[in-house]
Amino acid sequence: MKNKSFLGEVWNYLKVRKKWWLLPTILMLILVSGLIIFGQASSISPFIYALW
């Protein structure tokens, strides 16, 4: 049994089960979570808050 990363397992799930409609949802969750993480303590914060 190979040791896969979480993203590798998600990609395999999407590929095998043909759930391509989940891909935009997953990408948006990753994007929003990245904005939240970078927006809390960085110099980018004023620009991110302007987007909301």
pLDDT digits (tens, 9 = 90+) for 10-21: 888 888 988 888
Cα-based torsion angle of the residue sequence 3, 13, 36, 41 in order, rounded to the nearest 10 degrees:
20
Q: Is this structure's pTM higher than 0.85? A: no
Q: At residue 41, what are phi and psi to the nearest 5 degrees?
A: -145, 70
Instruction: List the pLDDT tens digit at each of the 52 positions of the chain.
Output: 467 788 888 888 888 988 888 889 989 998 888 877 777 766 766 776 676 6
Going by C-alpha positions, the residue among 21, 28, 30, 31 that lies closest to residue 13 is 21
DSSP H or E stretch at residue 24: helix 22-40
What type of residue sits at position 40? Q
